[in-house]
Every structure is written in C-alpha cells, then in structure tokens.
Amino acid sequence: MDLMRVIVLFALIAARCARASLPNFVLLFADDLGYGDLGCFGHPSSLTPNLDRLAAGGLRFTDFYVTSPVCSPSRAALLTGRYQTRSGIYPGVFYPGSNGGLPLNETTVAEVLKSRGYATAIVGKWHLGVGPNGIYLPTRQGFDRYLGIPYSHDQGPCQNLVCFPPDVKCYGFCDQGVVTVPLLSNENIKRQPADFLQLEKEYSEFASKFINDAVQNNQPFFLYYPSHHTHYPQYAGADYAGKSPRGPFGDALMEFDGTVGKILQTLKERGVINNTLIFFTGDNGPELMRKSHGGNAGLLKCGKGTTYEGGMREPAIAYWPGSIQPGVTRALASSLDILPTFARLAGAALPDVQLDGFDMTNILLYHRPSERQTIFYYPTSPSQEHGVFAVRWKNFKAHYYTQGANHSRGTSDSNCSSLPLLNHDPPLLYNLEADPSEYYNLNSSEWDSVLQQIQAIKEHFEASMVFGESEIAKGIDSALAPCCVPNCTPKPECCHCTPAL
C-alpha cells in the first residue's frame, strides 16, 4: 500500500469511529397532554409505567415550557429553536388545505443533525403544513423517512370512524366538510382514512425498523415521535382498549406509553440504550373543554389556548443512562432549547439565524443551574400590537394580557374560557414558586422593582423580535387537502382508499 492509501484508510476508520460515538436522539412529543397527566407527575389513575421509568432513571423537569398554547406554533419552535413569530407560524394552526407551511429556509433540528451524518425519521403528527405537491412535508425538512397523519387526527370527520375495538365509534364529530385523515408514508398516501386501531402498532414497527437500520448501517440516528395521543378523539388498539382505570383518555395515554416502551426495548436489544438521549415533553396544555376526554393540568391554572401556566408548562423528562444522573431539576427550560442542546451533543454547527434556545447540556449532564432566566408567553394568535402576553423571570410571572380560550372551557374557573382580552397595567404578578397555581396577585408596591426589571426584559426581547410573514394567513385551498384519488368527484367523500390485504 502506498502512503496515500494508508492515510485515506485511517481517515475513513477515524470518521467511522467518530460517527459511531455520536449520541443518538429520540424525541417523544405528546399532544394536548397536561402537566398533571402522568403517573410520575402525580396523576392518581394514569398508568404510564414506561414514562415513569424514564423519570425514575432520568431527569424530571418541573419548570419546562413550550412557546405556544396550541399545536403548530409549538412544533415550529421545537424543531427550529426559534419563536413561531419569527418563522411565521401564527395566528392559530394549519389546516389540511393550508397554502402555507414551515418555511423551507428554516433549519430544523433534523437538518442540523443530518450535517453530522445522522439518519433521521419522524413518526406521527407533523402539523407544519402539507402544501401544493407536499412541499411542506417533513421529507422536505431534513427527515429521511416519515410515517403518519400530517396534522391533527380531528381535522377530518370522525363520526363514522372506529376509535376502540371492536367497533366503538370515535367520540364526537371532529372537523366536517374536509377529507378524512390520511396516513402518509413519506409523501404518499398509504390509506385514507387512517385506521386508528392499527396506527400505534404500525408506528412502533416503523420506529423499530428505523432504529435497526441505522444501527446496522453504523449510523447515528434521530427519531422524532410526535404522537397523536392524547389529543381528542382518543383511540387505542386491542392491547390497550379498556385497560386503564382512567377511561378512554387513560387508554390512549397508555398506548402512547406502550409505544415508548417498545422504542426502549428496541434500543436495549440493539445495544444502543446507553448511547441514546431520550427527551420527552408535550406540545401544549390539556384541552379542558373535552372534560374527562381531555387532559389535566394538575395544580396549574387553566389549559390549552391560554397563557396561564396550564396552557404552556409541560411535563418533561431527559433520560440517558450513564450520562444523565437520575433526579429532579427545577431549572427553567424550554422546547426552544432542544435544537441547541442536540447540536452541541452532536458537535453540529448551529444554523446562522437568530436562535431563541439555550444549550441545556450543563443541566442534563451536571445538574447545574439553567442559563435561561426568562420564558415569554405568546398567545394562540400573536400580534405585533400586543406582543407577548406574559413574561416569567426567575420565579416571577407578570401577565400583561389575559384572555380565556374555548379550549379551556368547562372548569369551575370561568376565567379560563370566558375572560375577554384584558390589558393589565400594572401587570398581574405571581410568584410561581410560592404560588404555582397563580392564585395570589402580588399587587403591593413592594414588588415594583420586580415589575420594572421584567418590563425592561420584555422591552429588550420585543425590540429583537421580527415577525416573519404569516404562513397561516396565506389561507386555505381545499383542493390541497391530501386525497388518495386526486381527481375524483365528489370531493371530499371520494378520497377513500383501503389497501388490499
């Protein structure tokens, strides 16, 4: 062998070893799950043995936040490390026929990791746009593989669909006048409507196959599993239906937990569990208007759609045996911090844009305090006129605006739903450590200096905020809704395909 070939050979071996030692990432993301819904966060009748195991063997966060009390914007921030206002994912959420989507020039955590040779996959709910010819699907945003329903599974009529075996119809009606929800494989419709009784089984098989393939190829991997559970209407297959003391919501949560268990099992069997960081959280607070079919925010005030704690503070767990010591952290952290943290651990360069996240590795690996001291609460439909509705600084939270939301209707606290948009001057001030339920407004002058400090932080933040062009304001073209028989009539009913067995 000549010298050049020896050098090339060594370089190849070195690259392979470096790749093999990169950590894998599994990001678990629940839907409309409240702060009080998991066994390990105090729920008395939820059965979540696998998530509880992650909490017992990993780091449980008490003060973890998302950036929006609704779905699409929360997911945009999770995947980009930037507030949804920057990427234009406001007001509200995407629909099956939305013209817009997460702009392709935004850099997702999947794209960041791909730059380091990661295999990437998403299984479950995307909800960041489909668009003309599927240009906003996850396969265009750094994910090698996709299996899932590309938006919420109530964004299509569900009254004739089966949610529990043998043939229990879904609870409620869901959205009418649109196509039934499709199951996509990469960019193709695999079936329409999706089969809720088989869905989680297919998802866990897809996840296991993806992990197996990556391990076999000696490739580090990133698996993103944004579950449809526990969003309305709840569903579960035969293994979980009727198994939870908590009813249909509990069964759906148990099925999600079961998929988490299967992913853990695969990681163990393939010998990569000690080289994989698993991070779990949820997209926003519980949809209280569904009553016992919705989730529970525990001791936090209100739920989905509001900027009270129950809308935006989520259960979160980081698990990485041997690297993360078990415990509980009260460090302030956010879904915005996922991208910088994964990038750091993978040795990947950060995208050259204004990021809003902080690297959490000091919290995870050394139980050190957070670099993050603030949380900004944007409402469902942010505007430049109103800006952020609330600011948390250390243990204090100031509400500049409050507003109820229909998603949080039906509890004894009528402010969760009926409160009109109110401006508070001076802001309502709560000490979230002494008073996590936001009961006692600190309205005496002894807190003036805290309010001044928060005001300065808010002004500084808002001066840096440039709202991107709204993708959701680009509107809806019903012809864009995914249809497995593209030119059929009459739509939407004709969009119906069941694969031959």
Ligand X SMILES: *[C@@H]1O[C@H](CO)[C@@H](O)[C@H](O)[C@H]1NC(C)=O
* Residues with a known catalytic role: 71, 127
321 binds ligand X per the rule CB under 6 A:
yes
405 binds ligand X per the rule CB under 6 A:
yes
212 binds ligand X per the rule CB under 6 A:
no
One DSSP character per residue, 422-466 reads EEEEEEEEEETTT-TT------SGGGHHHHHHHHHHHHHHHHT--
Q: Contact letters (x/-) for ligand X, 27-66, by CB under 6 A?
A: ----------------------------------------
Contact with ligand X (CB under 6 A): which of 159, 274, 384, 423?
A: 274
422 binds ligand X per the rule CB under 6 A:
yes
105 binds ligand X per the rule CB under 6 A:
yes
Length of the chain: 501
Residue 305 near residue 402, CB atoms below 8 Å: no
Q: Which is nearer to ligand X, 350 or 494 (CB)?
A: 350
Q: Which is nearer to ligand X, 444 or 489 (CB)?
A: 444
Alpha carbons 501 and 497: distance in angstroms, whole number: 12
Q: Which is nearer to ligand X, 46 or 276 (CB)?
A: 276
Alpha carbons 206 and 101: distance in angstroms, whole number: 25
Amino acid found at 170: C
Alpha carbons 176 and 480: distance in angstroms, whole number: 16
79 binds ligand X per the rule CB under 6 A:
no
The least distance separating ligand X from the CB of residue 322, rounded to whole angstroms, comes to 5
Q: Which of 158, 95, 157 is closest to 130 using CA atoms? A: 95
Write 417-421 long-range contacts (CB < 8 A, 24+).
417/289
Contact with ligand X (CB under 6 A): which of 31, 63, 106, 283?
A: 106
Amino acid found at 222: F
Alpha carbons 294 and 424: distance in angstroms, whole number: 30
Contact window for ligand X (CB under 6 A) among 18-26, 94-102, 221-229, 415-423: 415-423
Q: Which is nearer to ligand X, 109 or 179 (CB)?
A: 109
Alpha carbons 329 and 189: distance in angstroms, whole number: 42
The least distance separating ligand X from the CB of residue 80, rounded to whole angstroms, comes to 8
356 binds ligand X per the rule CB under 6 A:
no
Contact with ligand X (CB under 6 A): which of 415, 437, 453, 478?
A: 415
Alpha carbons 165 and 144: distance in angstroms, whole number: 33
Contact with ligand X (CB under 6 A): which of 45, 292, 443, 452?
A: 443
Residues 6+ apart with CB under 8 A from 98: 129, 130, 131, 471, 472, 474, 475, 476, 480
Contact with ligand X (CB under 6 A): which of 406, 431, 455, 470?
A: 406
Q: How many CB atoms lie within 10 A of CB 154?
A: 18
Alpha carbons 429 and 441: distance in angstroms, whole number: 5
The least distance separating ligand X from the CB of residue 106, rounded to whole angstroms, comes to 5
273 binds ligand X per the rule CB under 6 A:
yes
One DSSP character per residue, 262-294 reads HHHHHHHHTT-GGGEEEEEEESS---GGGGGGS
Contact window for ligand X (CB under 6 A) among 13-21, 218-226, 362-370, 438-446: 438-446
Q: Which of 148, 101, 139 is closest to 120 using CA atoms? A: 139
The least distance separating ligand X from the CB of residue 414, rounded to whole angstroms, comes to 8
Site residues (CB under 6 A) for ligand X, limited to 241-270: 268
Find the radius of gyration of the CA atoms of the chain.
Answer: 22
Residue 48 near residue 254, CB atoms below 8 Å: yes
413 binds ligand X per the rule CB under 6 A:
yes
The least distance separating ligand X from the CB of residue 328, rounded to whole angstroms, comes to 21
Q: How many residues bind ligand X (CB under 6 A)?
A: 22
Contact with ligand X (CB under 6 A): which of 166, 271, 327, 490?
A: 271
Site residues (CB under 6 A) for ligand X, limited to 322-341: 322
Interface residues toward ligand X, by CB under 6 A: 103, 105-106, 268, 271, 273-274, 321-322, 353, 402, 404-406, 413, 415, 419, 422, 441, 443-444, 468
